[in-house]
């Protein structure tokens, strides 16, 4: 929807050329359009912009299943200050409500996808599910002490989404990441306390033990299940 709105806004750059059309003239096909004279560089830039923006709008509208005919009828009406069947305010209100509905529908799809993954993963060989819903698999069990919630530890890790997209990585044993268990997401805090030093676990962290409905910037989407392969290298001296 956002791409659609941006593309529709971009078409406004074509207003000067479109405003020259005579009122009452029927829509023409590409073959019926009169030849244009491109005299100056500005003429060529204007024409090129129209071609580019027109193609973007056409492709985005078609991709999303919207009506090109209705779009351009409304666009032309608005361009000539005719509200048509909707005022500007009512159109804005409708689009805001429609976009909110699409966003909620997308979130429902994300939640369902994550839940399906966790349900299937819980049955995978070697995967253990805790009371909180955290899932983990032991890759290598160490023999050192386990950290407590007040400890600071040194770790290496690779973080990814269920799609396989890696969003964070630290694998340099010479410069591991140090962090306090009390200052990380719940899934990490719980999972690290299960690991003796020297261990390597894979965590499958549900969104309610990670970033929830907020996500994390442009990296982690809302309701994302996070997969971390974590190696616990040491517990820092208190």
Does residue 216 belong to any structural domain of this protein? yes
Token pair 């979130």 is at which residue?
107
Does residue 223 belong to any structural domain of this protein? yes
Identify the weakest region by mean pLDDT among 51-55, 114-118, 146-150, 209-213. 51-55
For residue 193, which phi and psi values (nearest 5 degrees)?
-70, -10
Q: How far apart are CA 229 and CA 66, in angstroms?
A: 43
Does residue 111 belong to any structural domain of this protein? no
| Predicted local distance difference test score (pLDDT) of residue 1 | 44
Angle between helices 2-10 and 88-121 (to 10 degrees): 150
- Of the pLDDT bands very low, low, confident and very high (cuts 50, 70, 90), residue 178 is very high
Per the structure, the count of domains in the chain is 1
Does residue 68 belong to any structural domain of this protein? no
Q: From residue 232, give the alpha-carbon distance in Å to each of 34, 142, 194, 197, 199.
A: 71, 9, 10, 5, 6
CATH number of the domain to which 177 belongs: 3.10.50.40
Does residue 110 belong to any structural domain of this protein? no
> Please, what sign has the CA dihedral across residues 110, 115, 120, 121?
positive
| Predicted local distance difference test score (pLDDT) of residue 32 | 59
Does residue 182 belong to any structural domain of this protein? yes
Average pLDDT over the chain reads: 85
Does residue 176 belong to any structural domain of this protein? yes
Count of CA atoms in the C-beta half-sphere (13 A) of 56: 18
For residue 154, which phi and psi values (nearest 5 degrees)?
-110, 130
- 181-207 burial code (b ≥16 CB/10 A, e <16): beeebbbbbbbbebbebebbbbbbbbb
Question: Considering the entire predicted model, what is its pTM?
Answer: 0.65
pLDDT in tens, 67-110: 888 888 888 887 777 767 888 888 889 999 988 998 888 888 88
pLDDT in tens, 9-65: 444 433 333 333 434 444 444 555 667 888 899 989 988 998 998 899 888 888 888
Q: What range defines the domain where residue 199 resides?
A: 129-235
| Predicted local distance difference test score (pLDDT) of residue 74 | 84
Residue numbers annotated as active site: 157, 167-168, 185, 211, 228
- Number of Cβ within 10 Å of residue 136's Cβ equals 22
Q: 220 with 182: CB under 8 angstroms?
A: no
| Predicted local distance difference test score (pLDDT) of residue 11 | 42
């Amino acid at each position: 929807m956002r791409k659609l709105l941006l593309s529709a806004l971009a078409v406004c750059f074509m207003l000067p050329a479109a405003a020259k059309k005579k009122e009452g003239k029927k829509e023409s096909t590409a073959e019926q359009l009169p030849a244009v004279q491109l005299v100056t560089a500005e003429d060529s830039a204007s024409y090129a912009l129209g071609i580019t923006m027109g193609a973007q709008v056409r492709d985005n509208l078609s991709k999303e299943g919207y009506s090109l005919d209705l779009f351009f009828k409304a666009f032309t009406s608005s361009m000539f200050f005719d509200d048509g069947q909707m005022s500007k305010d009512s159109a804005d209100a409708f689009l805001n409500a429609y976009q909110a509905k699409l966003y909620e529908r997308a979130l429902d799809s994300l939640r369902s996808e994550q839940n399906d993954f966790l349900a299937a993963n819980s049955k995978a060989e070697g995967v253990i599910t805790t009371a909180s819903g955290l899932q983990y698999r032991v890759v290598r069990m160490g023999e050192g002490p386990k950290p407590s919630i007040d400890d600071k530890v040194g770790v290496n890790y690779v973080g990814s989404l269920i799609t396989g997209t890696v969003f964070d990585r630290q694998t340099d044993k010479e410069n591991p990441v140090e962090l306090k268990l009390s200052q990380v997401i719940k899934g990490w805090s719980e999972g690290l306390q299960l690991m003796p030093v020297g261990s390597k676990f894979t965590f499958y962290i549900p969104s309610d033990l990670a970033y929830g409905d907020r996500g994390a910037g442009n990296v982690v989407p809302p309701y994302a299940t996070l997969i971390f392969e974590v190696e616990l290298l040491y517990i820092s001296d208190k």
